[in-house]
Structure 1
Amino acid sequence: MQTSTTPAISLTGAQQNELLRALSREELIELFAHLDLVPLAAGKRLFDAGDLMEYAYFPTNAIISLQYVTEDGGAAEVAVVGREGVAGVAMYEHERANCCAVVQTAGYGYRIKSEILRRAFFGGGALAQQLMRHTSALFAQLAQTVAGVRHGTIEQRLCRWLLERLDRSLSNELKVTQELIANMLGVRRESITCCAGKLQEDGLIEYRRGCVTVVDRSGMERRAGSCYSAS
């Protein structure tokens, strides 16, 4: 039974995901029969590297971090997916994940079995076009992440990381910790503390434990420079 805190399962609800909203009403109705609205709790692992890709997830207000995990257990974020896209697309039968997906910001999303999404993809139409466009955007995001690690300063990378979440958030308030940011960027927590302090001093963000509020978005974009502007 639906509660006051649980979104209604509806075509309108599914259209909170921008990729699904780009489909024709007929395509969405056909796909909707196979979509399940699921809660996505912060920290939930949707799949790990090497797992069979059983489901794909279309977030509505949740944010999913795609991460590469090293043999010693370290993790580095390679891309992020929010209401603009989908996580876990498998174009081939028995395809396995090449990264892990972790819910970073809690919310909801629509889940669909990979085999059904794959069948719909090969049927052509707007869904196939949107999935290919989204895959291309993920590759571009990955390339920019790599370039940022190689050429960007820690401050630029921090600004970009926050802006990426802001792009996918319904408010300018982000519930994140400095420890999480440091782990995702692969830097020391002290470095993030120093950069966040400078951004706060300059009036770009307000930070309190576990929460960052972006006050001056345009200023953040200028600080991020090419780390963000080409995305």
Structure 2
Amino acid sequence: MPEIGMQPKENRLLALLPPEEYAAVASHLEPCETPRGFIIVQADAPIEHAYFPCSGVGSVINISPEANRVECGLFGRDGFGPTAAAVGAGLSINEVAVQVPGFAYRLSQGKLLDLMKTQPVFASLLHKSAHVLATQAGFTALSNAVHEVDERLARWILMCHDRIDGDKLALTHEFIAVMLAVRRPSVTTALHVLEGNHFIRSVRGLVIVRDRAGLEEFAADAYGKAEEEYERLLGPLRKSTTLADPTTATFCLLPGS
């Protein structure tokens, strides 16, 4: 369940603001729960708010004229969405939806743009975050073109693990297929490959990360470049937590309908 009392500084970008800019931005933030399936913005629709997650994961989804869907990026407490809000685009060409439930703070698009004019660090952080998400989208395209499905799944698990502190993820096989741009049976096969290598353990709908280092090695060049760019520009992506028992990092995969 999302934590109603989460503070804005649980979002990495807001936490990086100097005190005076944080105060200016925080005074306009509106708290909101973001349940799974919540639509931050529809494709080709006006942008009303920018969301700064404190927990949960949002997906940026491209939709073709024939209604084919594929995830091109994801973000959580590390960023904000839609990034088009920061350039005054007005409309979002992507759908941005919540896939892992959580909690966020939001700003109206108009107030976001006003604050960017008067708060230079805030504006700089939003520009850097938008750049990193674009970098991630580019490497997602590369990975979809050159990597096997199991490597791409390993990359996705790592990207989610970066953002959730080992919380359970209630995700359908159907959506994983959308994220990886594959058919649902390929998702099941890829999960079996990762489990066979002892990187994860799948029990009653739970996928438990057993060996993150092994998962990173398996993902190889499918994972890491966008994360390195984030850390170069914005600092650590993951919270510095140490788990006594690595099997406490869990993901929940629900059967697709």
Normalised by the length of structure 2, the TM-score is 0.82
> Is the 8 Å Cα contact of residues 35 and 98 (structure 2) preserved in structure 1?
yes
1:183, 1:6 → 2: CA distance?
A: 28
> Is the 8 Å Cα contact of residues 176 and 212 (structure 1) preserved in structure 2?
no
Instruction: Tell whether 2:142 aligns with 1:169.
Output: no
Which residue of structure 2 lines up, in the alignment, with residue 24 of structure 1? 18
Over 3 Å counting, the alpha-carbon distance change for 1:201 and 1:173 in structure 2 is farther
Which residue of structure 2 lines up, in the alignment, with residue 52 of structure 1? 46
Q: CA deviation at 1:191?
A: 1.3
1:177, 1:98 → 2: CA distance?
A: 24
Which residue of structure 2 lines up, in the alignment, with residue 74 of structure 1? 68
1:210, 1:99 → 2: CA distance?
A: 30
Which residue of structure 1 lines up, in the alignment, with residue 177 of structure 2? 182
Give the residue type in structure 2 aligned to 1:194. Answer: T
SS of the residue corresponding to residue 192 of structure 1 reads: helix
Give the residue type in structure 2 aligned to 1:161. Answer: W
Q: CA deviation at 1:209?
A: 4.8
Structure 2 matches for 1:198-213, cutoff 5 A?
198-213=193-208
> Is the 8 Å Cα contact of residues 159 and 223 (structure 1) preserved in structure 2?
yes
Structure 2: tracts of 5 or more residues without a match: 227-257
Q: 123, 126, 133: which is aligned to 1:128?
A: 123
Q: 2, 5, 12: which is aligned to 1:8?
A: 5
Instruction: Tell whether 2:230 aligns with 1:230.
Output: no
Q: CA deviation at 1:164?
A: 0.8
User: Root-mean-square deviation (CA), in Å?
Assistant: 1.8
Q: CA deviation at 1:44?
A: 1.1
Over 3 Å counting, the alpha-carbon distance change for 1:54 and 1:221 in structure 2 is same
> Is the 8 Å Cα contact of residues 2 and 33 (structure 2) preserved in structure 1?
no
Q: CA deviation at 1:208?
A: 3.5
> Is the 8 Å Cα contact of residues 174 and 212 (structure 1) preserved in structure 2?
no
Which residue of structure 1 lines up, in the alignment, with residue 241 of structure 2? none
How many residues get paired?
225
Which residue of structure 1 lines up, in the alignment, with residue 234 of structure 2? none
SS of the residue corresponding to residue 153 of structure 2 reads: helix
Over 3 Å counting, the alpha-carbon distance change for 1:92 and 1:229 in structure 2 is closer
SS of the residue corresponding to residue 174 of structure 1 reads: coil
